[in-house]
């Protein structure tokens, strides 16, 4: 049989729940929800709201002028 090679890669999820998005941005609950709505990074899956880190990163990059 073939040996399986175990790959130890760290996974960074693209979509975060509100609690994770709060940690990601360093904001409180209300401010994180407001920011997510303003920049359009909220995606609804059923009743669950997920926050797109790529859209958030693009927004933060535009604020700081990073290309």
By residue range, what is the domain housing residue 56?
15-64
In a domain, 34, yes or no: yes
Question: How high is the pLDDT of residue 1?
Answer: 67
In a domain, 32, yes or no: yes
Residue ranges of the chain whose pLDDT lies below 50: none
Question: How high is the pLDDT of residue 9?
Answer: 78
In a domain, 10, yes or no: no
Closest CA to 60 of 12, 26, 28, 11: 26
In a domain, 60, yes or no: yes
Question: How high is the pLDDT of residue 2?
Answer: 76
In a domain, 9, yes or no: no
Question: How high is the pLDDT of residue 10?
Answer: 85
């Amino acid at each position: 049989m073939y040996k399986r090679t175990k790959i130890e890669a760290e996974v960074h999820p693209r979509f975060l729940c509100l609690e994770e998005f709060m940690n990601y941005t360093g904001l409180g609950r209300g401010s994180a929800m407001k920011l997510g709505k303003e920049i359009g990074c909220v995606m609804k899956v059923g009743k669950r709201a997920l926050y797109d880190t790529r859209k958030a990163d693009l927004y933060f990059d535009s604020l700081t002028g990073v290309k």
